[in-house]
Structure 1
Amino acid sequence: MIVCFDIGGTAIKGAVAYAPDDIRAFPRRPTPGDDFDAFVETLRAVIAESGGTPACVSISIAGVIDPDTHRAIVANIPCIHGRTLSADLAQALDLPVIVANDADCFAIAEASIGAGQGHRVVFGAIMGSGVGGGLVIDGRLINSDGGFAGEWGHGPVAATTAGHPPVAIPPIPCGCGLKGCIDATCSARGMEKLHSFLHGETLTSEEIISAWQDGDPMAARTIEILVDIIASPLALVINVTGATIVPVGGGLSNSPELLEAIDVAVKARILRRFDRPLVVPATCRVEPGLIGAALLGLRVSGETS
C-alpha cells in the first residue's frame, strides 16, 4: 500500500493505492502555500487517514525537480519552491518520498493504463492553460530523477508565419522568459491571444472552438493558424523520440475535432507513416496526476520491497 498525492496551488488531492486498479481517493484539502509545516501536517493527516504505514509516499506536483540540485521549481506553492522536496518530506514524514512533475504523471498513467497501452514509446502531451508533456519509454519515465525532458512547450520555435494564405505571427512573450514558445502561442491562453491578434476580438478558447465548430470563418482561421503552428514542433518531437502514440490531456483535448485536425497536420510532417490516429484524446480523464503518482509509487514499492 502507498499513499499518493496530486498537489496544485489551491488543492491537495490524496489517495491510498493498493494496486493500479485499486486507488481510493480522499476528500481534497486546501494547499498551505506559504507554510511548510502546515503543508507537511496536511500530508501527514492524509497518511494517517490511510489506516496503515505506507511503503512510500508518491507526489505529483505542478512543477519540476531540477536534476542537478534536486530542488523543486514550483512557482505557485512558495513553501516548497527551492526545497530539496523529496529529501525534506522524507525526513519530515519518516517515509520514502517520490516527487514527479504532473505532466510526467499524466504520461505514465496514459502509457500504463490509458491510450498508450501496448506502445514502447509514448509521448503524453498537455494542451491546456499551458503546453507540456512527458516521455515514457518501455514503461519508464525518462524523467525518473527529475528534469525537463518532455517540455516541448518552451523554446522560441513557434513559426513567425503560418496559415494559408500565410500571415505574420508576432513572437508572443512566454512566462518562462522567452518569446515565441508553443506554450505562449498554442495553449488555451495562446489561442485567445492569437485570435485577438488576428481579428481584434476577445473570446475564450472554449468560445473560439465552439464558433469554429459552428462554421464561423474568423474562428476557423484562428484554428487553422494554430494547427499550422503547433504541428511542426510536435512532428519534430515524434521524429526525435520515435513515439508511436501521443495521448493529449488538458482543456483543449476536450475538442476531438481539434485533435483530429492536429493529428492530420502532424502525420503529414513526420517521417514514419501511420494509417491510424497518432495524436489522440487521453483516456485517463479523471485525476491523471493522482493515477500517475500512484503507479510510480506502486512500482517503486514493488521494486524495493
Structure 2
Amino acid sequence: MIVCFDIGGTTVKGAVAHAVDNIRPFPRRPTPASDFAAFVAALKSVMAEAGGTPQCVAISIAGIVDPETQRAVVANVPCINGRRLQADLEDALGMSVLIANDADCCVLAEAGIGAGRGHRIVFGVILGTGVGGGLVIDGKLINSHGGFAGEWGHGPVAATRAGHPPVELPRFACGCGQIGCVDAVCSARGMEKLHVELSGQSLSSEQITQAWIAGDSAAARTIDVYLDILSGPLALVANVTGATIIPVGGGLSNCGPLIGALDEAVRSRILRRINRPLVVQALCQVEPGLVGAAVLGFASLEQSTSGGRGNGASANR
C-alpha cells in the first residue's frame, strides 16, 4: 500500500493505492501554501486516514525538481519552493518519498493503464492552461531524477506565418519569459489570444471550439491557424522521440474533433507513415495525477524488490 498526493496551489488531493487500478481518493484539503509545517501536517492527516504504514509516499506537483541541486521549483506553493523537497519530506514523514511533475504523472498514467498501454515509447501532451508533456520509455520517465525533459511547449519556435492561406502573426510573449513559445499561442489562453488577433472577437477556448464544430467561419480560421502552428513542433517531437502514441490531456483534449484534426495534421508531417491514430485523447481523465503518482510508486517498489534501483527523485514537465 502506498499513499499518493496530487498537490496544486489551492488543493491537496490524497489517496491510498493498493494497486494502480485500486486507488481510493480522500476528501480534498486546502494547500497550506505558505507554511511548511502545516503542509507536512496536511500530508500526515491523509496518511493517518489511509490507516496502516504505507510502503512509500508518491507525490505529483505542479513544478519541477532541479536534477543538479534537487531543489523544487513550485511557484504556486511558496513553502516548498526552493527546498530539497524529497529529503525534507522524507525526514518529516519518516519514509521514502517519490516526487514527479504533474504532467509527467499524467503520462505515467497513460503509459501504465491508459492510451499508451502496450507502447514502448509514449509522449504525453498537456493542452490546457499551458502546453506541457512528458516522455516514458519502457515504463520509465526519461527524466526520473528531475529536470525539464518534455517541456516542448517552451522555446521560441512558434510559426509567425501559418494557416491556409497563410497569415502573418506576431510573436506572442510567454509566461516563461521568452517570446514565440508554442505555449503562448497554443494553450487554451493562447487560442483565445489567437482568435482575437485573427477575428477581433474575444471568446473562451470552449466557445471557439464549439463555434468551429458548428461551422462558424471565424472560428474555423482560428482553428486552421492553430493546428498549423501546433502540429509542426509536435511532429518534430514525434520524430525525435520515436513515440508510437501521443495521448493528450488537459482542457482542450475534451474536444474530440480538435484532437482528431491535430492527429491528421501531425501524421501528415512526420517521417514515419502511420495508418492509425497517433495523437489521441488521454483515457485517464479522472485524477490522472494520483494515478500517475501510484504508477511511479509501485514501479519504484517493484524495482526495489527485484534488486534494481528505484526511480528516486522527481521528474518534470
Report the TM range for the smaller structure's normalisation.
Answer: over 0.9
1:261 and 1:2 map into 2 onto residues whose CA distance is: 39
Residue of structure 1 in register with 2:26 after alignment:
26
The alignment's TM-score, normalised by the length of structure 1, stands at 0.99
The alignment's TM-score, normalised by the length of structure 2, stands at 0.95
Equivalent residues in 2 for 1:136-155 (5 A)?
A: 136-155=136-155
Letter in 2 for 1:114: G
1:189 and 1:67 map into 2 onto residues whose CA distance is: 30
Q: Does 1:188 align with 2:157?
A: no
Q: RMSD in angstroms over aligned alpha carbons?
A: 0.7
Cα deviation 1:230-260 (Å, max 9, x = unaligned): 0000000000000000000000000110011
Structure 1 residue 129, shift from structure 2 partner: 0.8
Structure 1 residue 299, shift from structure 2 partner: 1.6
SS at match of 1:221: helix
Residue of structure 1 in register with 2:110 after alignment:
110
Letter in 2 for 1:278: L
1:199 and 1:21 map into 2 onto residues whose CA distance is: 46
Q: Does 1:219 align with 2:202?
A: no
Q: How many residues align?
A: 305
1:236 and 1:113 map into 2 onto residues whose CA distance is: 26
1:129 and 1:28 map into 2 onto residues whose CA distance is: 21
Residue of structure 1 in register with 2:309 after alignment:
none
Residue of structure 2 in register with 1:85 after alignment:
85
Q: Does 1:279 align with 2:279?
A: yes
Conserved 8 A contact 1:73-1:82: yes
Any stretches of 5+ residues in structure 2 without a counterpart? 306-317
Structure 1 residue 121, shift from structure 2 partner: 0.4
1:301 and 1:120 map into 2 onto residues whose CA distance is: 21
Cα deviation 1:170-193 (Å, max 9, x = unaligned): 111001000111111100000000
Equivalent residues in 2 for 1:1-305 (5 A)?
A: 1-305=1-305
Cα deviation 1:41-89 (Å, max 9, x = unaligned): 0001111111111111000001011111111111111111111111111
2:29 and 2:301 map into 1 onto residues whose CA distance is: 25
Structure 1 residue 22, shift from structure 2 partner: 1.1
1:277 and 1:224 map into 2 onto residues whose CA distance is: 19
Structure 1 residue 298, shift from structure 2 partner: 1.4
Conserved 8 A contact 1:15-1:25: yes
Conserved 8 A contact 1:17-1:298: no
SS at match of 1:59: strand
| Paired-residue identity, % | 67
Instruction: Provide runs of 4+ in structure 1 moved above 3 Å.
Output: none
Letter in 1 for 2:95: L
Residue of structure 1 in register with 2:313 after alignment:
none
Letter in 1 for 2:61: I
Cα deviation 1:243-284 (Å, max 9, x = unaligned): 000000000000110011111110111000100010000000
2:302 and 2:247 map into 1 onto residues whose CA distance is: 27
SS at match of 2:106: helix
Conserved 8 A contact 1:125-1:132: yes
Structure 1 residue 302, shift from structure 2 partner: 2.7
Structure 1 residue 303, shift from structure 2 partner: 2.5
